[in-house]
Amino acid sequence: MSIPASAVIPLLGQPSFVTLQSHVLSEERRQPGHSGNLSWIISALAIAAKTIAARLKNAGIEDVLGEIGTQNVQGERQQKLDVIANHLLIQLLGTREGVAVIGSEENDELLLVETEANGGQRYAVLFDPLDGSANLDVGGSVGTIFSIFDAPKGTEQVLQTGRRQVAAGYVLYSSSTIFVLTTGLGVHLFVLDTAVGAFIRVQQHLRMPASGTIYSVNEANAASFPPGYQTYLAQCRDAGFSSRYAGAMVADVHRVLIKGGVFMYPPTAKAPQGKLRLMYEANPMAMLIEQAGGMASTGRQPILDLVPDELHQRVPVVLGSTGNVQALLDLLKSA
């Protein structure tokens, strides 16, 4: 019995979805010189994200909420899941071909990895394993942020400007698990389909609005913000802007990326150099925002142009829609 051609063609056609892995492989083919190691590394990040998402889902049942009783290199109290996520990422990345250097916000020093690249590209992978972990006890959104640099053989130097990043992204653990990625060819969004266990591409070449009516900042510190920031916030309130602040950079930046507006973490009396880490948070988020058509600044210069002085350097951060960020920068210049 023959099968009508009309019944066969749809089965042999292209799938209606694209996975994260196939997307990265396709982008690597478009960039000469890449050996496939980058897709191998992003695959490890995706496995870690799926595992962290599963642990978060059952965190209360498995008794992995709360502080562990130690502090990280930043002097911050570590949550149990901070340590679990950090260990998981190091374990997975440490076995991936092409990974030469691993840096974590939770660790004092870089980890040099003895993996074979087989003549392919070698990379440094830096990450904040669980951004916003103070939200865990109250069921708030948290995330993972990562940054990837080239690490040519014999040069494990990662103190490079953010312009040298070859990829950056974050994972938002919320009502769904969202993986946002750029390899320098635009910003792409993927959502974890738990039924098939894969991240599925849901949006390509995301472009954020040129301006928005949302500002995201910890206004509890506003009294010690520099005058330009205070003036800008007053203007936002007068213009009827909405204030949204989740206490997790991933959640706040994701909202601004999708809806437009501005995210700020200015200098304060307690943190005159800023609070967010350049290498683990500011650089990767700045790359994503710029790739989506926005702006990212320290208030003085583009974040991606800043030459780092140290691994755990902190910086002020202003990022978001071009119109919003430029308006604030103009006030900072005139203040």
Determine, yes or no, domain membership for 54. Answer: yes
Cβ burial of 69 (10 Å; 0-12, 13-18, 19+) is: exposed
Determine, yes or no, domain membership for 237. Answer: yes
Determine, yes or no, domain membership for 272. Answer: yes
Q: Residue 9: its pLDDT value, please? A: 46
Cβ burial of 297 (10 Å; 0-12, 13-18, 19+) is: buried
Nearest-angstrom CA–CA distance, 204 and 223: 40
Q: Could you tell me the CATH number of the domain that includes residue 119?
A: 3.30.540.10
Residue with tokens 């005058």: 227
**What number is the average pLDDT over the span 246-273?**
96
Determine, yes or no, domain membership for 7. Answer: no
> Are 165 and 27 part of one and the same domain?
yes
Determine, yes or no, domain membership for 266. Answer: yes
Cα distances from 124 to residues 15, 42, 168, 322, in angstroms, run: 33, 12, 12, 30
Q: Count helices and strands (H / E) in the chain.
A: 9, 17
Nearest-angstrom CA–CA distance, 239 and 231: 12
Range of the domain at 251: 214-334
Q: How many CA atoms lie within 13 A of 210 on its CB side?
A: 0
Determine, yes or no, domain membership for 15. Answer: no
Q: Residue 333: its pLDDT value, please? A: 93
> Are 44 and 191 part of one and the same domain?
yes
Determine, yes or no, domain membership for 196. Answer: yes
> Are 249 and 121 part of one and the same domain?
no
pTM for this model (two decimals): 0.90
Q: Residue 71: its pLDDT value, please? A: 52
Q: Element (H or E) spanning 251, and its range? A: helix 249-259
Residues 332, 225 contacting (CB under 8 angstroms): no
Structure tokens at 98: 């092409």
**What number is the average pLDDT over the span 61-72?**
57
Query: 74 phi and psi, to 5 degrees?
Result: -85, -5
Q: Which residue among 179, 203, 227 closes a domain?
A: 203
36 pLDDT band, cuts 50/70/90, is confident
Q: Comparing 58 with 73, which gets the higher pLDDT?
A: 58
Indicate whether 102 pLDDT > 90.
Answer: yes
> Are 310 and 291 part of one and the same domain?
yes
Nearest-angstrom CA–CA distance, 261 and 174: 21
Nearest-angstrom CA–CA distance, 98 and 40: 8
Nearest-angstrom CA–CA distance, 142 and 135: 7
Query: 262 phi and psi, to 5 degrees?
Result: -145, 140
Q: Residue 151: its pLDDT value, please? A: 86
Q: Residue 1: its pLDDT value, please? A: 47
Mean pLDDT (the chain) is: 88
Nearest-angstrom CA–CA distance, 23 and 113: 26
Query: 85 phi and psi, to 5 degrees?
Result: -65, -40
Q: Could you tell me the CATH number of the domain that includes residue 301?
A: 3.40.190.80
**What number is the average pLDDT over the span 79-96?**
91
Indicate whether 10 pLDDT > 50.
Answer: no
* Total domain count, the chain: 2
Nearest-angstrom CA–CA distance, 64 and 41: 27
Cβ atoms < 10 Å from Cβ of 227: 11
Determine, yes or no, domain membership for 11. Answer: no
90 pLDDT band, cuts 50/70/90, is very high
**What number is the average pLDDT over the span 31-46?**
83
DSSP 8-state secondary structure symbol assigned to residue 133 = G
> Are 199 and 220 part of one and the same domain?
no
Q: Which residue among 143, 178, 203 closes a domain?
A: 203
Residues 102, 48 contacting (CB under 8 angstroms): no
> Are 263 and 232 part of one and the same domain?
yes
> Are 81 and 31 part of one and the same domain?
yes
> Are 184 and 59 part of one and the same domain?
yes
> Are 285 and 252 part of one and the same domain?
yes
> Are 154 and 275 part of one and the same domain?
no
> Are 43 and 142 part of one and the same domain?
yes
> Are 56 and 31 part of one and the same domain?
yes
